[in-house]
Amino acid sequence: MSASFLEVDALNVIIEAVKKAEDGTEHYRPALRGGTQSAHARLRFAFPIRAASEVNLIGGGSKPLTVRSDGVTLEFRPFEIKTVRITAG
């Protein structure tokens, strides 16, 4: 049996990396990359999350995302890279 703590439901969006915050907080930053076509993707977590926001590659420029059922929905343009800051709850 295998399990993942993070999954994305769009076939043309991949999770490239997941980084845990270095400041000791319960923050995670998954980086996702879209494929050759636009995509609507749901990113789900296997643990409760309190908040999520879209950030730039160095973690700034926060845009809040709506959290529903321990996941968020993202829209991708072709080849777009998105980084999401997650606060575990």
Domain borders along the chain are 6-88
pLDDT confidence of residue 27: 77
Q: Is 42 exposed, middle or buried (CB count within 10 Å of its CB: 0-12, 13-18, 19+)?
A: middle
The pTM score is 0.82
Q: Is residue 65 pLDDT above 90, yes or no?
A: yes
DSSP secondary-structure letter at 37? S
Q: Is residue 57 pLDDT above 80, yes or no?
A: no
Residue 44's pLDDT band (cuts 50, 70, 90): very high
Start-to-end CA span in the chain (Å): 26
Q: Does domain 6-88 have CATH number 2.60.40.1180?
A: yes
